[in-house]
Structure 1
Amino acid sequence: MAKGLREQLIGAWELIEYCAYLPDDKSDKKYPMGPEVQGIIMYTPDGYMSAQLMTPGQKPFASPGSNEDWAQAGKNYVAYTGQFYLDEAGDESGPVLMHHMKTSNLPYLVGDTQRRLVKIVDEDDGKYLVLSLGSPMEVFGEPRMIRVRWRRMSENKATKPPDAPKL
């Protein structure tokens, strides 16, 4: 029996691509957090989600770090968590996923509910979650479509991290 969209959504997904493309040219991509952005998004069976996105390659700074160090780190990290809601019937564009931000490192997101078109796609190298907006938004000074692709992460059944010392 095929799983419903909600059941397929539950779990952890690794960020593969976060891009903004021209509405009439999907090949004209720009990357709001750079082409090497990393992240994980998770959905729990009880209706909560958490997303973390990071621009890699930041310089380590000494503890506790200067205000400038923290400001730079903050510019390269996006995090939010809260409830999610799924309307599988959706609209003419397909199913709709909503993220309600209870907390975020970006204050303007706290309390906001963001709407995403959602689809899950099976490809040769795994299962993908594709989140997008239904209409363009301004990115780098021009209207662009946002698409975020995540690949299903394998189940973690390990009892300790790979580099953990033996007890």
Structure 2
Amino acid sequence: MAKSLREQLIGAWELIEYCAYMPNDESDKKYPMGPEAQGIIMYTPDGHMSAQLLTPGQKQFSAPGTDAEWAQLGKNYVAYTGQFYLDEQGDKQGPILLHHMRSANLPYLVGDTQRRLCKIQEESDGRYLILSLGETMKVFGEDRMIRVRWRRMPDNQATQPPESSRL
């Protein structure tokens, strides 16, 4: 029997692409966190989620860091966690996934519920979770569509971390 969308969603996903494209030209992409943005999003069986996205290449600094160093880091990192809700029937655009932010590093996200269109698809190199808004939003001063592509991470059954703890 085929797994429900909710069952397929459960687990960890690695960020592959976070882009904003023109509604009439998907090849016209801009990258809000840069083309090499990294991140992980996780969904638990009991209805919780956590997402972290970052712009790679941050300057190293020693603890405790200066206010300016922390401010720069804060501009390049987004994290939030809370409950998720999935309407597998959705609307005419497809299934709807809601992220309700219980906590976030961006204060304006706390308590917010964000709506995403949700699709999982198999490709030759793995399973992908595609989240989008279904409508335009202002990005770099233009009305653009948002699409975030995540690839399913393999299950981790290891009892020890890899030799080098730096990824």
Q: Name the TM-score class by shorter chain.
A: over 0.9
Unmatched tracts of structure 2, length 5 or more: none
Query: Structure 1 164/25 Cα, relative in aligned 2: closer, same or farther at 3 Å?
Result: closer
What CA distance in whole angstroms lies between the structure 2 residues aligned with 1:48 and 1:80? 11
| Moved beyond 6 Å, runs of 4+ | none
Alignment correspondent of 1:99:
99
Cα offset for 1:40? Answer: 0.2
Alignment correspondent of 2:152:
152
Query: Structure 1 63/84 Cα, relative in aligned 2: closer, same or farther at 3 Å?
Result: same
Q: Counterparts in 2 of 1:65-80, with a 5 A limit? A: 65-80=65-80
Q: Counterparts in 2 of 1:9-158, with a 5 A limit? A: 9-158=9-158
Tell me the SS of whatever aligns to 1:52. strand
Cα offset for 1:164? Answer: 6.8
What CA distance in whole angstroms lies between the structure 2 residues aligned with 1:164 and 1:110? 35
TM-score by length of 2: 0.97
What CA distance in whole angstroms lies between the structure 2 residues aligned with 1:56 and 1:158? 26
What CA distance in whole angstroms lies between the structure 1 residues aligned with 2:46 and 2:89? 20
What CA distance in whole angstroms lies between the structure 2 residues aligned with 1:164 and 1:127? 27
What CA distance in whole angstroms lies between the structure 2 residues aligned with 1:71 and 1:161? 31
Amino acid at match of 2:162: P
Residue deviations 1:41-91 (CA, integer Å, cap 9, x gap): 000000000000010001111110000000000001000000000000100
Percent identity between the two aligned chains: 76
Amino acid at match of 2:140: F
What CA distance in whole angstroms lies between the structure 2 residues aligned with 1:47 and 1:58? 32
Amino acid at match of 2:161: P
Amino acid at match of 2:111: G
Tell me the SS of whatever aligns to 1:27. strand
